[in-house]
Amino acid sequence: MPGKDPFTGKLKWYKSEGAVAVYSALISILIGMAVGAVIVIIVGMAKANISTKGIWEGIRLVFLGVFSTGRDSAGNLTFGFNGVNIGNMLFRATPLIMTGLAVAVAFKTGLFNIGAAGQYLMGTMGTLSVGLWLGNSGCPKGIAWLCAFLTGVLLGALWGSIPGIFKAFLNINEVITCIMTNWIAANLVTWWFDAHDVFKNSAEGGKVGYIIPLKNVGVVTPKLLMDKLFAGSQANGGFWIAILIAVAMYIMMTKTTFGYELRACGANRHAAKYAGINDKRNIILSMAIAGALAAAGASLYYLSGNTEFYWSTYQKLPAEGFNGIPVALLAANHPIGVIFSGVFMSMLNISGIQLKYLTAYNEYIADIIIAVIVYLSAFSMLFKTVLSKRIKHDTGNVNAEPVPADDDSPPESLDELVSEVAEAVEIAETVAKKGGEE
């Protein structure tokens, strides 16, 4: 039987649900980048100051920007291993992975966490304040680092739990509370830094409106080999920490009872409640974890030391918060997938910057590509159906185990919703049975 393991009757790995999800993500990525290339061509032809050579350079940078090594003496683009670019890519991926996780974990519980921006800001405030305070107080740097990180995470968790509480007890749509808490956080953070001059960077000229970077007080994340691998870049150990957290989230969501309960709530809150799962507690905890993750992203970003925070932010929310949404969507809310999609998104960012410095185009082409990819990922169901139709022809083995349903995405259609309800009831009943046995 092609595509199936002859002994177990299960689908082979390259035809499994997960693999199909990866294929459909790859299709989205390819189409997205092709759209980017088409825009480069059209704009290049419409603008008089961009030559055919310029168009070709633009296209190459869209696809290979991260490997760009600038121009040689003859003015031609050169490509190769660029440690600075790749290191910066990983550095920028760190907060994206974390906010992506924040969105993904909430999605699994059936919540759309659009409030990662506010949670990110609260994390920024906690980390910078405690980091600078302890850094100046002569406390050991390691302890200061830990306290700064944990304060940020804690504030983020608290901030994330607000929409959770509103959802759990008052059944208010989390999207609206997230939007409100985003803007409240933006004002709160600005207010805090406005009122505390000690944190403002007044020593360095021309840096009006910024907070003192944490490297000035020596509270920075250790490099953990990153400086050896990618010399000259901003990469640091924060990236490894982000990967560890992502793996921990994967284990939590798939291998623990708690994760099981969260997913049951996401599949059908009422069925989960019926089975004795405390849905209110789980919704609040899920949002608190999401908030903690987003805030951890901010903490890791600012604990890198070099990054500077522009504190008067009451009119602007950090882009990292919203960029977590495409990262999570592209990864189909899979915690491990988030690592890759986060790195991919930051690769596109690097490509955009290369475009800006090396050609007449600008960095926003990367944002267009990301948006197109997200738009196409909404069609992932379509891709998946087309792909799995090709696979599902071989259903000869009646004894074959049924393929477990993919419980990642929110319900796309009624029959998926119905099947998810059934699944949730099943999960819930198992959990209830377990409880009864104990």
Partner 1 sequence: MVFLLQQTMLYAVPLMIVALAGVCAERSGVINLALEGTMIFGAFMGVIFIRMFQNGGWQQEQGQLIMLFSLLLCGLCGIAFSMLLAFSAINLKADQTIGGTALNMLAPAIVMFFIYMIVQQNTIGMAEGGAAGWFMIKPQTFGYPKGYSFGPVLDFFINKVYLTSYICILIFILVSIFLYKTKIGMRLRSCGENPQAADSLGINVYKMRYLGVGLSGFLAGVGGFTFALTTANMTSNGDVAGYGFLALAVMIFGNWTPLNIAGGACLFGLFKCIAATYATLDINGDGVYLLNNLGISPYVYRMLPYIITLIVLAFTSKSSRVPKAEGIPYDKGMR
Binding of residue 438 to partner 1 (CB under 8 A): no
Residue with token string 């924040």: 102
Site string for partner 1, 175-204 (x = CB under 8 A): xxx-xxxxxx--xx-xx--xx---------
Position 326 contacts partner 1 (CB under 8 A): yes
Any idea of the CA torsion for 177, 179, 185, 191, to the nearest 10 degrees? Answer: -120
Give the residue, chosen from 18, 54, 83, 410, that forms a contact with partner 1 under the rule CB under 8 A.
410
- Find the shortest distance in angstroms from Cβ 245 to partner 1: 24
Closest residue by Cα to residue 11 from 43, 20, 416, 410: 20
Counts for the chain of helices (H) and strands (E), in that order: 16, 2
Nearer to partner 1, 307 or 377 (CB): 377
Output the CA–CA distances (angstroms, integers) from residue 219 to 153, 210, 299, in the order listed.
16, 17, 12
Q: Give the one residue of 166, 239, 260, 309 binding partner 1; rule: CB under 8 A.
A: 166
Nearest-approach distance from CB 145 to partner 1, in angstroms: 29
Question: Does position 308 bind partner 1 by CB under 8 A?
Answer: no
Question: Which residues in 122-162 belong to E strands, given as ranges?
Answer: none
Residue 70 DSSP class: E
Quick check: helix, strand or coil at residue 79?
strand
Q: Contact 358/71 with Cβ under 8 angstroms?
A: yes
Select the residue interacting with partner 1 from 208, 378, 386, 405 (CB under 8 A).
Answer: 378
314 binding partner 1? (CB under 8 A): yes
User: Per rule CB under 8 A, is residue 335 in the interface with partner 1?
Assistant: no
User: Applying CB under 8 A, does 374 fall inside the site for partner 1?
Assistant: yes
By CB under 8 A, name the one of 112, 240, 274, 310 that touches partner 1: 112
Residues 30-49 that bind partner 1 (CB under 8 A): 39, 43, 47
Q: Is 362 in the site for partner 1 (CB under 8 A)?
A: yes
**Residue 409 binds to partner 1 (criterion: CB under 8 A):** yes
Task: For residue 247, state whether it binds partner 1 (rule: CB under 8 A).
Answer: no
Count the helix, strand and coil residues of the chain and give each as a percent rounded to the nearest 5: 70, 5, 25
Tell me the C-alpha distance between 320 and 301, whole Å.
10
Cα separation, 319 vs 310, whole angstroms? 13
Q: Which is nearer to partner 1, 177 or 351 (CB)?
A: 177
Binding of partner 1 by 258 (CB under 8 A): no
Interaction between residue 413 and partner 1 (CB under 8 A): yes
Residue 406 binds partner 1, judged by CB under 8 A: no
Residue 89's closest CA among 303, 323, 369, 340? 340
